[in-house]
Structure 1
Amino acid sequence: MQETTILRTSDLAKELGVHVNTIRLYEASGFLSPVPRGSNGYRCYSPIHLEQARLTHLVLRWPYVGDKQPLIALVQSAANGDPGMAMEFAYQYMAQIRVERTYAESALEFLERWAAGHTMDISSHPMRIREAAAHLNVSVDMLRNWERNGLLTVPRDPANEYRLYGSTEFGRLRVIRMLVRCGFSLMAILQMLQQIDSGNTNNLRDALNVSHDTKFVAVIADRWLTSLLELEQRTQQIIAQIGRMIEMFYQQ
């Protein structure tokens, strides 16, 4: 494609597999550099606009990790003629994803240790729910929510039916708390715990991936570790795309 090529809105939309209104939205949002108009009033896109639109489509496609604003700043930097800044944002985003992966991997190692039968908590006496919440530094509502969602069953005091949390419950709760804090969904955790409760402690990482019947995954946390790996791969594509755009700027 020659640098003098003039492209229409429909050309960009067809190349990216999106509606023409999506391309117009990219332009209105400042994700493309200013687009000149022909004598007939039609937009005259260049190959650089196509690459900017390609970058936008790649960067802002759901899902993504954390705040969307740095990703918006990334594509706007490229549109404003500063692909170097866009590259910095891309590597910052890569670092963020890798931090999330580190947290997730640590949580999985904690899980595997517990599943192997190692004691994870020593409590001198059974605790009621408020004392248990303070012991774990979580809220009472969180403990009730996890129980309500089937993540654990808490034994009751036969004298008064109050919940009594012992070392067995605390070990399980520490695993649940760490997985939740590291981004895994309650559905994924429940599926994994059900597998453990059935006596199967193999492939627990796979058990944390909730299968869906449709291509649209409503909860990214249902496939958290897999999603992080996919996002890291996409970020590599983003970096490569910015690299191509930098080469195009030098060829002008």
Structure 2
Amino acid sequence: MYKTKEIAALVGLHPNTVRIYEEWGFISPVPRQANGYRIYSNTHLFQLKVARTLFRCEIVQGDIRKKAREIVYACGKEDFTKAEQLTIYYLTNLEHEYNHALSATKVVEKWLKEDSTVSSCTYSRKEVALLLDITPETVRNWERNGLITVPRLYNGKRVYGERELEQLRVIRSLRSAHYSINAILRLLRRIQQPSPDIIAILNTPTDEEDIVSVTDQLGKSLLDAIADAKDTLDLLHEKTTFQKR
């Protein structure tokens, strides 16, 4: 039996966080003593360990965070078999996201190796958006964020050539893999280095980046989340195996 401060110390959380986790249903309802103090069991300790492990990595792109919460909610209901099944599904999704992120870097490598001969074909913003199956506003947003500079005609109208089209295709691939605008901008600024390490550049923020999010180092964050999911699966497998005895 544990008091709030004791169980919080065991899992490395603030006591207020433990209380919030109970309020959110991350752990089972906690009985009170006559004086109102909470008394936690070993089941609560296990539930908190699962939550702490899954939330170590602050990865938030897509619905990854939602899937992690579903596992914790299942633990809060003491349905550890369901939590184990959800964790297997969660891990599979994380590995898919990581492979998708790696595949996007292959598009960059192909782009760097391609013949840079300039074609006479030109396109409007609407036309390149249609070719890439994105909206013109998305293209405009990438321009505003400095991901691409588009030449203009004498009348000020932007004109996209094959070079710009291919660069937009690379940007689209990286964004679809959930790389952040900052990470892509960092890559495009350093891409002309001799033999650039594309994955390292995408996952290593520079000192000039004041605010860094998890998707600014997506590959590392996904690998951290995969490791946490495997640790969670080990915890749950041990729990469900013990319950079946």
TM-score using structure 2 length: 0.87
- How far the C-alpha of 1:118 sits from its partner, in A, is 4.8
1:25 aligns with 2:20: yes
Match of 1:139 in 2: 135
Match of 1:126 in 2: 122
Task: Tell me which amino acid in the other structure corresponds to 1:115.
Answer: L
Task: Tell me which amino acid in the other structure corresponds to 2:226.
Answer: E
Match of 1:34 in 2: 29
- How far the C-alpha of 1:246 sits from its partner, in A, is 2.9
Q: Contact 1:64 / 1:231 at 8 angstroms: preserved in 2?
A: no
Alignment of 1:160-171 (within 5 A): 160-171=155-166
How many Å separate the matches in 2 of 1:66 and 1:129?
A: 27
Three-state SS of the structure 1 residue aligned to 2:189 is helix
- How far the C-alpha of 1:225 sits from its partner, in A, is 1.4
- How far the C-alpha of 1:15 sits from its partner, in A, is 1.2
Q: Contact 2:54 / 2:225 at 8 angstroms: preserved in 1?
A: no
1:221 aligns with 2:215: yes
- How far the C-alpha of 1:248 sits from its partner, in A, is 5.3
Greater RCO, CA 8 A, separation 6+: 2
Match of 2:93 in 1: 96
Match of 1:55 in 2: 50
Match of 2:153 in 1: 157
Q: Contact 1:128 / 1:163 at 8 angstroms: preserved in 2?
A: yes
- How far the C-alpha of 1:39 sits from its partner, in A, is 4.3
Q: Contact 2:61 / 2:178 at 8 angstroms: preserved in 1?
A: no
Task: Tell me which amino acid in the other structure corresponds to 1:132.
Answer: V
1:205 aligns with 2:199: yes
Match of 1:3 in 2: none
Alignment deviations for residues 115-144 of structure 1 (CA, whole Å, 9 cap, x no partner): 12357x997621122222222222222222
Unaligned runs of 5+ in 1: 1-5
Unaligned runs of 5+ in 2: none
Aligned with 1:107 (options 95, 104, 107): 104
Match of 2:168 in 1: 173
Q: Against the structure 1 CA distance between its residues 51 and 18, is the aligned structure 2 distance closer, same or farther, given a 3 Å change threshold? A: same
Three-state SS of the structure 2 residue aligned to 1:22 is helix
Question: Aligned residue pairs: how many?
Answer: 241
Q: Against the structure 1 CA distance between its residues 163 and 66, is the aligned structure 2 distance closer, same or farther, given a 3 Å change threshold? A: closer
- How far the C-alpha of 1:224 sits from its partner, in A, is 1.0
Q: Against the structure 1 CA distance between its residues 166 and 212, is the aligned structure 2 distance closer, same or farther, given a 3 Å change threshold? A: closer
Task: Tell me which amino acid in the other structure corresponds to 1:186.
Answer: I
How many Å separate the matches in 1 of 2:118 and 2:90?
A: 39
Q: Contact 1:185 / 1:222 at 8 angstroms: preserved in 2?
A: yes
Task: Tell me which amino acid in the other structure corresponds to 2:142.
Answer: W
Q: Contact 1:48 / 1:248 at 8 angstroms: preserved in 2?
A: no
What's the RMSD between the two structures over aligned residues? 2.5
Q: Against the structure 1 CA distance between its residues 161 and 41, is the aligned structure 2 distance closer, same or farther, given a 3 Å change threshold? A: closer
Aligned with 1:81 (options 78, 83, 87): 78
Three-state SS of the structure 1 residue aligned to 2:230 is helix
Q: Against the structure 1 CA distance between its residues 156 and 47, is the aligned structure 2 distance closer, same or farther, given a 3 Å change threshold? A: same
How many Å separate the matches in 2 of 1:14 and 1:194?
A: 45
Q: Contact 2:2 / 2:39 at 8 angstroms: preserved in 1?
A: yes
